[in-house]
Amino acid sequence: MEVPDGTNVLEAALSNNVPLEHFCYQRYLPVAGNCRTCMVEIEGPKGSMLTVGCNTKVAEGMVVHTDSPKAKAAQKSALEFLLLDHPLDCPVCDKAGECKLQNQYMEYGLYDFRRGVPRDFKGGKAEDIGEHVMLDQERCVLCTRCIRFVDEVPKTSELAIVNRGHESTITIFPGQRLDNPYSGNVTDICPVGALTLKEFRFKQRVWFLKKTESICPGCSRGCNITVEQNKGKIYRFMPRENSELNKTWICDEGRFSFNHWQENRVTEVKLGHGIRSLAEGITELAKLLEGISPDEVAGIASPAAALEDNYLLKKLFEKRFKLKNLAAPFWGKPGQADNILKLEDKTPNAQGLRLLGIDTEGKDLLARIEKGDFKIVIMMHNNPHGQDEARAKKVFGKVNALIVLSVHQTKVAEQGSMVFPMRPFTEKNGTFVNATSRLQRFRAAYEPENPDIVEASLWISRLAKALKVEGFDFEDTPAVFNAIAKDIPALNGLTFNSIPSTGKVLDLPPVGPEPFQGIKCQPNILGKAKA
């Protein structure tokens, strides 16, 4: 086995698919070596010796046994110590189903309980230690993952271990609360049910959740997430490991945006004041557009919509209307940025618009709409991050018909003369290009109940067919992406399914800084391991 110089034994084993029990070790946090479960037997000049795999660097010619009887016995007894005073209240614990202790007992433990004296439990009920986090002392196994996280990544250091020996407990410093903007991550890395999210506590058992790989649309960083839902209700967003981008972290803003995508939605096709079917809506819209000169139609693309949607809107304007009447002005206020993950641009796909060559400022177009140059405006995915009703009235005041494709029932959607529901990223397939020019794919987590809610790209295809424009025969969004890949040189050779799960960096100048500026959060992976 060949690994980069300085890699530890545990990481060398894990990255070469050699199973090895580990508990306090987290790939993107410094090594603590306090759980002692990753014991391995290393052959040395004075005979073999037992040591922890996480804190031993690989050396030339090293012989390591991970499954010798001696190593296995050591791993098993280390686990027994961890479980000694851990309450077995798995049925009420929210971590059950994704608990490291549970999984490793089944994999490496399976010993008989042999404690002769009563168990000793630490604390009472779970206590509130932060805006999003609850701490249950009873279940804590003192792996210090959470402490290392708050020390290393947000560098706020709210957590610490107090007292000694068996009395040791994790706690927050007096007068301080775990309120940093990345606090949700401590609950992900907590291997047991000691730290839980208030937003997820008691809501759903984890084995009911279906996970779909996705991309956080909260800002132009494009952190990798999994959308976890059951029967069409999203219960949480969890970070997904991407060693090149967000490691295993996401910000709280992105994590807790899951409710936003299921609330206040446009659910029906509305024409004037009546509710119609999608087919009727498309026919009526096509009739309206046919009776008007192509110069009098403006289009507003969106940095919040997927690459495929914007591409097809651009193609429609190229073929049927005037391309110069299409732009993507962004109405939201820039948000907060930091040196970890958050970026100012709170839309996921502004870089995708630049890739397609759509104007992201669009001041000129808005001025012309306000002046009354256009009779019809087609607005896709009006910006969900803040709507200015007065401004919308002013800009669209002279427009005869405002066609809105919207996810949310926003102020602008209320002004639309035709409103079509649109699927958010959780219900559709597509791609985003983030600020550092990384093309990433997301997939539909579930199908909406109403079949009239279609993906925006398919809506545009149907409209194009109704307008008898050729070249819009797409069955689904992946087919649209494959067409874009043939069309745009930067994407040549890619297909929707061949995009790597960590994304692909495109040849496009980045507009944002790399994540984790001044934070050393990758001490354990030093490069790709070779078997």
User: What are the residues binding another protein (CB under 8 A)?
Assistant: 87-89, 91-92, 115-119, 121, 124-126, 201-203, 205, 207-208
Question: Least Å distance between CB 93 and another protein?
Answer: 8
Cβ-based nearer residue to another protein, 115 or 324: 115
Neighbouring C-beta atoms of residue 204, cutoff 10 Å: 16
Neighbouring C-beta atoms of residue 518, cutoff 10 Å: 7
The Cα-based distances of 213 to 97, 225, 347, 350, 356 in angstroms read: 19, 6, 19, 21, 25
Cβ-based nearer residue to another protein, 65 or 201: 201
**Which residue matches tokens 């403006």?**
298
The Cα-based distances of 51 to 38, 102, 305 in angstroms read: 8, 24, 52
Cβ-based nearer residue to another protein, 110 or 117: 117
Cβ-based nearer residue to another protein, 115 or 398: 115
Structure tokens at 502: 């960590």
Question: Least Å distance between CB 231 and another protein?
Answer: 10
Please, which residues bridge with residue 210 across strands? 229
Q: Which parts of 45-113 are beta strand (E)? A: 47-52, 63-65
Cβ-based nearer residue to another protein, 87 or 335: 87
Question: Least Å distance between CB 147 and another protein?
Answer: 24
Local structure of 497: helix, strand or coil = helix
**Residues 141, 86: contact at Cβ < 8 Å?**
yes
Question: Least Å distance between CB 99 and another protein?
Answer: 14
Please, which residues bridge with residue 233 across strands? 230
**Which residue matches tokens 């104007």?**
359
Cβ-based nearer residue to another protein, 169 or 283: 169
Cβ-based nearer residue to another protein, 11 or 94: 94
389-396 helix and 363-371 helix, angle to the nearest 10 degrees: 70
Distance CA 310, CA 353 (A): 7
The per-residue DSSP string of 3-50 comes to --TT-BHHHHHHHTT-----SS--TTS-----S--SEEEEEETTEEEE
Question: Least Å distance between CB 144 and another protein?
Answer: 24
Question: Least Å distance between CB 133 and another protein?
Answer: 15
Q: Nearest 10 degrees: CA dihedral of 163, 169, 174, 176?
A: 150
Cβ-based nearer residue to another protein, 4 or 87: 87
Neighbouring C-beta atoms of residue 517, cutoff 10 Å: 9
Distance CA 443, CA 448 (A): 14
Query: Amino acid letter at 495?
Result: T
Question: Least Å distance between CB 202 and another protein?
Answer: 4
Cβ-based nearer residue to another protein, 138 or 308: 138
Question: Least Å distance between CB 122 and another protein?
Answer: 11
Question: Least Å distance between CB 136 and another protein?
Answer: 8
